[in-house]
Structure 1
Amino acid sequence: MRIYLAGPEVFLPDALAIGAAKKALCALHGWEGVFPMDPPTLSPSGEMDWRRIHAANELLLRGCDALVANLTPFRGVGADPGTVFELGFLRALGRPVHGYTHDPRPHRARAPEARLVQGVWEDAQGLRVEDHGLSENLMLEGAIRAGGGVMLRAEAALDWRDLSLFTRCLTEIARV
């Protein structure tokens, strides 16, 4: 099984080392981990710009059987938007998607300005804030669970480079 390893780790200075470590952990289960920075089998032509990066990642996604996404909040209260796209892309192809987050807080608790107004949580602009006790937006956790996927939340905050929850996610996937 080829598993796409989605997540904002691609922005770390040691991204390739993190990708290699995740791929090695997949190999322990007999799976092939595919990191977003891996070159696709059929590489898109043209100058290496954002369009080519996007095309290469879609090619990688199409060649995978499943996805494991690091949904730890990235530059805000929610998951990295690129990771979210990749999760939705594979789910739309009917392939299993799984996720984990290093942030133990529920989604609502990550909006510090949220306040309870007449029984509804709102942000500073008066927009509703989800309060379902989930670790991420309901559409993401819904997509994972609807396809029988695994979704894990850390019990205590973890560093970006900590692979313990990723390892546990792989173990849970193997079990189901």
Structure 2
Amino acid sequence: MRIYLAGPEVFLPDPLAAGAAKKAICAKHGMVGVFPLDAPAPMPSGPPDWRRIHAANEAHIQGCDVLVANLTPFRGLAADPGTVFELGYMRGLGRPVFGYTHVPHDYRTRVGEARHDGAAWRDAEGLEVEDFGLAENLMLEGAIAASGGVLLRAEDGLGWQDLTLFEACVMAVRRKLVGEL
């Protein structure tokens, strides 16, 4: 089973080490991890710019059986938009998606200035804020649930390098899709 390792780890100071650590966990559980910075075969042709990176990542996703996404808020209140796209793309292919987040608080709580106006929670600009007790936008959690996946949430905040929930997610993939050996 090939797992696409979606998440903002590509932006860490040593992304290749982060990818290698995740791939080692996948191998430990009898699966193959595919990190976004791995060179796909065949490598998309064209200039080595953002379009080639996009094409390579889509090729990786198409070549995988399942996706595990790090949905920890990145540079703001919510998950990395590239990771969100990858999750949706895999779901659009009809394949299972799983996720985890290192932040224990639900989305509405993370919108710090949200106030209840008697009918709904609203942010500082008066826009409604989802209040379903979910870790992320309902479309992400809905996609994960509809595909048979799970979203794991930390009980306490975890750092970017912590792989505890990632490994738990890989184990959930194995239980749900591969079965125990």
The TM-score, its normalising length taken from structure 1, stands at 0.98
- The gaps in structure 1 that reach 5 residues or longer are none
* Match in the other structure for 1:40: 40
* Match in the other structure for 1:99: 99
* Match in the other structure for 1:164: 164
Provide the C-alpha distance between the structure 1 equivalents of 2:64 and 2:42, rounded to a whole number of angstroms. Answer: 14
Provide the C-alpha distance between the structure 2 equivalents of 1:142 and 1:55, rounded to a whole number of angstroms. Answer: 26
Matches within 5 A, 1:1-176: 1-176=1-176
Cα RMSD of the aligned pairs, angstroms, is: 0.7
Give how far 1:30 is off.
Answer: 1.1
Structure 2 letter corresponding to 1:110? R
Provide the C-alpha distance between the structure 1 equivalents of 2:147 and 2:166, rounded to a whole number of angstroms. Answer: 19
Provide the C-alpha distance between the structure 2 equivalents of 1:156 and 1:131, rounded to a whole number of angstroms. Answer: 20
Provide the C-alpha distance between the structure 2 equivalents of 1:15 and 1:139, rounded to a whole number of angstroms. Answer: 28
2:112 is paired with a residue whose SS is coil
Provide the C-alpha distance between the structure 1 equivalents of 2:35 and 2:174, rounded to a whole number of angstroms. Answer: 19
Structure 2 letter corresponding to 1:130? E
Structure 2 letter corresponding to 1:64? C
| Deviations, residues 94-149 of structure 1 (Å, cap 9, x unaligned) | 00000000000001011111111113100001000000000000000000000110
Provide the C-alpha distance between the structure 1 equivalents of 2:90 and 2:164, rounded to a whole number of angstroms. Answer: 24
Provide the C-alpha distance between the structure 2 equivalents of 1:162 and 1:73, rounded to a whole number of angstroms. Answer: 15
Provide the C-alpha distance between the structure 2 equivalents of 1:131 and 1:21, rounded to a whole number of angstroms. Answer: 35
Between the two proteins, what is the percent identity of the paired residues? 68
Provide the C-alpha distance between the structure 1 equivalents of 2:171 and 2:59, rounded to a whole number of angstroms. Answer: 27
Q: After TM superposition, where is structure 1 displaced by more than 3 Å over at least 4 residues in a row?
A: none
1:89 is paired with a residue whose SS is helix
Provide the C-alpha distance between the structure 1 equivalents of 2:9 and 2:81, rounded to a whole number of angstroms. Answer: 13
- The gaps in structure 2 that reach 5 residues or longer are 177-181
2:56 is paired with a residue whose SS is helix
| Deviations, residues 60-112 of structure 1 (Å, cap 9, x unaligned) | 11101000000000011110000000000000000000000000000101111
Provide the C-alpha distance between the structure 2 equivalents of 1:106 and 1:86, rounded to a whole number of angstroms. Answer: 22
Give how far 1:28 is off.
Answer: 1.0
2:69 is paired with a residue whose SS is strand
Number of equivalenced pairs: 176
The TM-score, its normalising length taken from structure 2, stands at 0.96
Provide the C-alpha distance between the structure 1 equivalents of 2:170 and 2:150, rounded to a whole number of angstroms. Answer: 9
Give how far 1:29 is off.
Answer: 1.3
* Match in the other structure for 2:179: none
